[in-house]
Amino acid sequence: MARLADTAGAQVIGRASQRIEAPTPNLYLGPGKVEELKQQLTDQGVTLAVLDEPLSPAQGSNLEKALGIRVMDRTELILDIFASRAKSYEAKLQVELAQLEYLLPRLTRMWTHLSRIRGGIGLRGPGETQLETDRRAIRRKISVVRRRLAEVADHRANQRQGRRDVPTAALVGYTNAGKSSLLRALSGADVFVEDRLFATLDTLTRDVDVGGGYHFRITDTVGFIRKLPHHLVASFRATLEEARDADLLLHVIDASHPGWEQQAEVVEEELRIAGCGLRIDNAGSERNHMVHVFNKADLLPDPGAFLAQVRDRYPRAVLTAGNPQSAIRNPQWGGVEGLRAALRSSAQSLRPLVQIRVPVGEGKLLAGLHRDAEILGKEQTDGVVVVTARVEAQLLGKLRRDGVEVIVGEAGDGNRETGDV
């Protein structure tokens, strides 16, 4: 909470806690604790109180009256940070939707001074209050924002369809785990990086050369956090679609954080709720499998021992250090070469190199290969076009079922497969 408040621009001057069996309906805290807090806030000149729990509209209103200062809950603080960080059109729409959905049930707090229009001759009718008018306006605005977000999602889906020649990966993880730093280190692109929570909200995609002639298209996504409001996650549906449709998930974990295990559990639970788990495609191959990337390895006292320990739980784990200075401080564990090698291995399994023998008259099949595969070369001999290409496992399975002659692997290795396998 202190880091969230700092990210929002507040100066933290104190904290307080209370152990209670259940929140009180009107104040959340106990009455005695509220009186004690009021005196402390007055003595220290506090202008804002932030609670690490969601408050109901009534609790927020009553606490403000009792304490005499502005009161925010965890959800409102995160929304405020998101509003200040959103830069792209899509991110601004997502934040606006989350803010409107948060505001809708809290309008009573803003309009308690208004009363229903008095009835009488010439004044009979629905008697609509200003509160009801504003609620209807907000619901209408929510519908408009959702429609615009749906249009953005459709546009993004069309973009993804045009990128199928290259495997895709999504960087997911707890906020401030170093996802943007890794993307910058892998791609060499000028990606915004800052040591703060939710430093980047905008979805960013970059093409990365992983060696061996293979490329990955990697997308940076919004970070997760403990007790992230569900309606906020729902607002960022378009961002999560990048993770759902990716061939590979790169779960970035801050290895130097003492609570990294709890942070990893939070992320994987949110991904499970969002439907970003392991999927099996029509060819029987894994899609959307996960590589655990333990970042900031240069800050560990013994990176080698740490890696051996986590590989008992995560066999495909790799250590990285996305900070450019890490390679200078610790040459052995600085940089992202281990991750680049893991991506290269995944690209080879996701897009195997094949030779496809197509009769010259099969123009439709040739056109489909040009559309859906990465064509590396073509040769024509004896009325047959030999196409060398990298293809997805799903397309490879379809070619086999259609009886197309396919040689998997480097040319001349003799691994010929024809028909159903």
Q: Is there a contact between 171 and 179 (Cβ–Cβ < 8 Å)? A: yes
Q: Which amino acid, residue 114?
A: L
Q: Is there a contact between 393 and 350 (Cβ–Cβ < 8 Å)? A: yes
Q: Which amino acid, residue 265?
A: E
How many other C-beta atoms lie within 10 A of the C-beta of residue 88? 13
Q: Give residue limits of the domains in the chain.
A: 2-79, 163-350, 353-418
Spell out, as residue ranges, where the chain has pLDDT lower than 50: 110-127, 279-287, 327-328, 411-421
Q: Is there a contact between 72 and 50 (Cβ–Cβ < 8 Å)? A: yes
- Angle in degrees, 0-180, between the axes of helices 130-161 and 89-103, rounded to the nearest 10: 150
pLDDT of residue 252: 93
pLDDT of residue 326: 55
pLDDT of residue 112: 41
The pTM is what? 0.70
Q: Which amino acid, residue 314?
A: Y
pLDDT of residue 111: 45
For the record, the structure tokens of 188 come out as 């060499």
Class of domain 2-79: alpha beta
pLDDT of residue 250: 92
Three-state DSSP state, 209? strand
For the record, the structure tokens of 14 come out as 């104190």
pLDDT of residue 161: 61
How many other C-beta atoms lie within 10 A of the C-beta of residue 8? 21
CATH entry 3.30.1490.190 includes domain 163-350 = no
d(C-alpha 283, C-alpha 400), whole Å: 10
pLDDT of residue 164: 55
The DSSP element (H or E) to which 8 belongs, if any, is helix 2-8
pLDDT of residue 152: 79
For the record, the structure tokens of 39 come out as 């005196």
Alpha helices in 129-229 (DSSP H): 130-161, 179-187
Instruction: List the one residue out of 271, 265, 187 whose CA is nearest residue 221.
Output: 271
- Cβ contacts of 303-307, under 8 Å, gap ≥ 24: 303/330, 303/332, 303/333, 306/255
CATH of domain 353-418: 3.30.70
pLDDT of residue 421: 28
Instruction: List the one residue out of 145, 143, 172, 343 whose CA is nearest residue 274.
Output: 172
Q: Which amino acid, residue 123?
A: L
Q: Is there a contact between 186 and 204 (Cβ–Cβ < 8 Å)? A: no
Q: Is there a contact between 111 and 128 (Cβ–Cβ < 8 Å)? A: no
State the burial class of residue 125 (Cβ atoms within 10 Å of its Cβ: 0-12, 13-18, 19+). exposed
Q: Is there a contact between 181 and 199 (Cβ–Cβ < 8 Å)? A: no
On the question of a common fold for 2-79 and 163-350, the answer reads yes
